[in-house]
C-alpha cells in the first residue's frame, strides 16, 4: 500500500466503531502524532478509539486481514517515542483511551482489575477510596495509563519497596495480533500452569499485542511516614546510609534518592521558592523516605538513630527531617524539580541507566570523571533511584557553551557513560524502555542469542509484523 492512499478499511472500521470510535480529521489526529518529548512526529491515516475489548478485537481482525500496521497508544508520555506512528503514513494509531473502567476492586483480595485506558492517577485514587494503595508512582502519573505503564514496565520512585509495574501485575487481558482475545485476568498469587505469558506482554511496548486490562496488586496504605534530606560526604557514604536503613528495617525504605550538589544548586537558584533546608552546600545529597503500615512503627526514632550513627561516623554531614506534610513535600520537591531546573540551566544530555545497587557509587564517580575529561567544564547532574540502582546520569552543558554545540556531543556523552555502565554490568535503559529511540542499541547490548530469541518470539506471535513496527527490536 503506497503512502497516503486512503485506508481501504475505513468504511468497515467506521461501521464497526461508530463516529466516536474513529478519528480522521487532521486536527483530531494532531495530538496522536507525537509523544510529549516531541522526539518524533509521524503520520497516520486515522486513529481508532474502540469502546471496549470486543470492538478492539474486531478492528484488529480487520486490520490483520488487510495487513495494516497498528500502533497502540496510551497517555503519550513515552520517553523514547514508543507510542507514535512513523513518518510513512500507513501505521494506524489505536488509542486505548475509551477502555477506562475499573472493572472491580477487592480490598480483601488486595486486587483491582483496571482497563488499559485508566489513567495511573485515577487507579491510585480508586485504590485509595477502597482504603488501599496502588503504589506505582511516577512523574507522568496524571497522564500515563495502566496499559502504558504495563507495556513499558514502568518504574518510578517506589521500586525499592514495591517493585516495577511488572511486580504489581497478576493477570492480563490481551488482544493478540490476529484479533483473538486472551483472557488471562487471573487474580492468583500462585498459578504454575505453563509459560508465564503475562510477563512477555509486560515490557513488550505493544509489539506483541494490546494489553486491554490487568489485575493489579494492591497494598495497605502507610499510616506513618518520614522524609529526610541528608548532605553526604561522598557517593560511597550515600549508599552506606541506604544499607544502614535496610539493616535496621528492611521494609521501611519507600524511596532512597541520590542527588548531586550541582543539581540541588540548580534547584535552589532556578526554581521559584526553591529553598534547601540545609545551611551549608554539599556535593552529595540523599532523600530518604520511610513509611510503614503500622501506626506505632516508630519511624521517627529509627530515622534519628540511624542519622545519628551516620553523623558520628562522619558519613552524613548534615540532615533535615521534614516536620510536617508541607516540609516533607518541600524536600521531595527538590528531587522532583530536577528535570525542570536542568532545563532552565541550558542544554543537557540524559542517560536512564542502571547498575547493580552496590555499584552506584562507582557509576556516579567514574561516569562524572569520564565526561569531564571528554568535555572540559561539563557539569554532571546524576540523580535518581540509588536504592534500586537506577541513576539518571545526566550531563549539563559547560557554562557559556553554545547549547547546540553541546548537544552535538550527545552521542559521545552517551557512549562514554554507557561504556562505564557496561563495565559495571548495567543496563542502557533502566525504566524508560527502548521505543524507537534505542532500537539501534539493542544489537550491541542484547545481540547474539538473546536478541535472536526475542526476534523468534516476535515472529511466532506477530508473524506479519503488524504490531508497533519499528519499536523495541532492530
Chain positions 283 to 342 lying near its own copies, rule: CB under 8 A, are: 292-294, 296, 298, 302
* 442 is a contact residue toward its own copies (CB under 8 A): yes
227/238 Cα distance (integer angstroms):
15
Smallest distance from the beta carbon of 275 to its own copies, in angstroms? 31
Interface with its own copies (CB under 8 A), residue total 90
325-336 helix and 338-345 helix, angle to the nearest 10 degrees: 40
428/363 Cα distance (integer angstroms):
13
For cell 505503564, name the residue. Answer: 149
* 194 is a contact residue toward its own copies (CB under 8 A): yes
303/299 Cα distance (integer angstroms):
6
Beta-strand (E) ranges in 234-314? 253-260, 284-292
Q: Which of 91, 390, 396, 397 binds its own copies (CB under 8 A)?
A: 390
426 close to 355: Cβ distance less than 8 angstroms: yes
Smallest distance from the beta carbon of 377 to its own copies, in angstroms? 31
Alpha helix stretches (DSSP H) within 313-409: 325-336, 338-345, 360-374, 403-407
Q: In sequence order, which residues have a C-beta less than 8 Å from that of residue 309 and are 6 or more positions away? A: 244
Q: Which of 348, 397, 427, 468 binds its own copies (CB under 8 A)?
A: 427
Smallest distance from the beta carbon of 445 to its own copies, in angstroms? 6
Rank residues 7 and 216 by Cβ distance to its own copies and give the closer one.
216
Choices 26-34, 197-205, 280-288, 368-376; region in contact with its own copies by CB under 8 A: 197-205
* 234 is a contact residue toward its own copies (CB under 8 A): no
* C-alpha torsion 348→42→474→184, nearest 10: 100
Q: Which of 248, 300, 372, 422 binds its own copies (CB under 8 A)?
A: 248
* 52 is a contact residue toward its own copies (CB under 8 A): no
Q: Which of 34, 66, 200, 401 binds its own copies (CB under 8 A)?
A: 200
x/- letters, 352..381, toward its own copies (CB under 8 A): --xxxxxx----------------------
403/447 Cα distance (integer angstroms):
34
Choices 114-122, 316-324, 398-406, 455-463; region in contact with its own copies by CB under 8 A: 455-463
* C-alpha torsion 459→190→155→472, nearest 10: 0
Choices 68-76, 367-375, 407-415, 454-462; region in contact with its own copies by CB under 8 A: 454-462
Q: Kindly give the pairing relationship between strand 390-396 and strand 352-354.
A: antiparallel
Site for its own copies in 87-126 (CB under 8 A): 106, 108-111
449/214 Cα distance (integer angstroms):
31
Choices 44-52, 69-77, 120-128, 446-454; region in contact with its own copies by CB under 8 A: 446-454
Choices 64-72, 152-160, 267-275, 279-287; region in contact with its own copies by CB under 8 A: 152-160
Site for its own copies in 250-289 (CB under 8 A): 250-251
CA distances from 135 to 1, 261, 441 (A): 45, 29, 31
Alpha helix stretches (DSSP H) within 209-260: 235-248
Say how many CA atoms lie within 13 Å of 118 toward its Cβ: 26
* 167 is a contact residue toward its own copies (CB under 8 A): yes
Q: Which of 12, 103, 246, 333 binds its own copies (CB under 8 A)?
A: 246
Q: Which of 51, 130, 271, 451 binds its own copies (CB under 8 A)?
A: 451
Rank residues 95 and 292 by Cβ distance to its own copies and give the closer one.
292
Site for its own copies in 209-228 (CB under 8 A): 219-220
- SS3 (DSSP) at 410: helix
Amino acid at each position: 500500500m503506497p503512502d497516503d492512499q486512503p485506508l481501504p478499511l475505513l468504511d468497515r472500521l467506521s461501521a464497526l466503531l461508530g463516529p466516536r470510535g474513529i478519528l480522521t480529521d487532521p486536527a483530531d489526529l494532531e495530538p496522536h502524532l507525537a509523544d510529549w518529548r516531541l522526539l518524533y512526529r509521524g503520520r497516520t491515516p486515522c486513529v481508532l478509539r474502540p469502546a471496549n475489548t470486543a470492538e478492539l478485537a474486531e478492528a484488529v481482525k480487520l486490520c490483520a486481514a488487510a495487513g495494516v500496521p497498528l500502533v497502540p497508544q496510551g497517555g503519550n508520555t513515552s520517553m523514547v517515542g514508543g507510542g507514535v506512528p512513523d513518518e510513512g503514513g500507513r501505521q494506524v494509531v489505536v488509542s486505548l483511551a475509551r477502555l477506562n473502567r475499573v472493572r472491580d476492586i477487592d480490598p480483601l483480595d488486595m486486587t483491582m482489575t483496571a482497563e488499559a485506558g485508566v489513567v495511573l492517577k485515577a487507579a491510585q485514587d480508586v485504590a485509595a477510596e477502597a482504603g488501599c494503595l496502588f503504589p506505582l508512582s511516577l512523574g507522568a502519573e496524571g497522564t500515563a495509563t495502566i496499559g502504558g505503564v504495563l507495556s513499558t514496565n514502568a518504574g518510578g520512585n517506589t521500586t525499592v519497596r514495591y517493585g516495577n509495574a511488572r511486580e504489581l501485575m497478576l493477570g492480563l487481558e490481551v488482544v493478540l495480533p490476529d484479533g483473538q482475545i486472551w483472557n488471562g485476568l487471573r487474580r492468583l498469587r500462585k498459578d504454575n500452569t505453563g509459560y508465564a505469558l503475562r510477563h512477555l506482554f509486560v515490557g513488550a511496548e505493544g509489539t506483541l499485542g494490546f494489553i486491554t486490562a490487568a489485575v493489579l496488586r494492591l497494598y495497605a496504605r502507610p499510616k506513618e511516614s518520614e522524609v529526610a534530606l541528608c548532605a553526604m560526604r561522598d557517593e560511597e557514604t550515600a549508599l552506606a546510609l541506604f544499607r544502614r536503613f535496610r539493616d535496621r528495617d528492611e521494609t521501611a525504605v519507600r524511596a532512597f534518592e541520590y542527588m548531586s550538589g550541582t543539581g540541588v544548586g540548580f534547584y535552589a537558584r532556578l526554581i521559584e521558592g526553591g529553598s534547601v533546608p540545609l545551611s551549608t552546600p554539599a556535593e552529595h545529597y540523599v532523600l530518604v523516605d520511610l513509611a510503614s503500615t503500622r501506626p506505632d512503627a516508630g519511624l521517627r526514632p529509627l530515622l534519628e538513630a540511624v542519622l545519628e550513627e551516620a553523623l558520628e561516623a562522619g558519613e552524613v554531614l548534615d540532615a533535615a527531617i521534614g516536620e510536617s506534610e508541607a516540609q516533607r513535600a518541600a524536600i521531595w520537591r527538590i528531587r522532583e524539580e530536577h528535570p525542570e531546573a536542568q532545563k532552565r540551566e541550558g542544554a543537557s544530555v540524559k542517560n536512564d541507566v542502571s547498575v547493580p545497587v552496590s555499584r552506584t557509587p562507582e557509576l556516579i564517580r567514574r561516569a562524572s570523571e569520564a565526561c569531564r575529561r571528554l568535555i572540559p567544564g561539563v557539569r554532571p547532574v546524576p540523580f535518581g533511584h540509588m536504592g534500586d540502582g537506577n541513576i539518571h546520569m545526566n550531563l549539563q552543558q559547560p557554562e557559556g557553551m553554545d547549547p547546540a554545540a553541546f548537544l552535538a556531543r550527545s552521542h559521545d556523552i552517551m557512549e562514554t557513560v554507557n561504556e562505564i555502565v557496561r563495565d559495571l554490568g548495567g543496563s542502557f535503559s533502566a525504566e524508560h524502555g527502548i521505543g524507537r529511540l534505542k532500537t539501534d542499541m539493542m544489537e550491541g547490548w542484547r545481540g547474539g542469542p538473546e536478541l535472536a530469541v526475542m526476534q523468534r518470539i516476535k515472529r511466532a506471535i506477530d508473524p506479519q509484523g503488524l504490531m508497533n513496527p519499528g519499536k523495541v527490536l532492530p
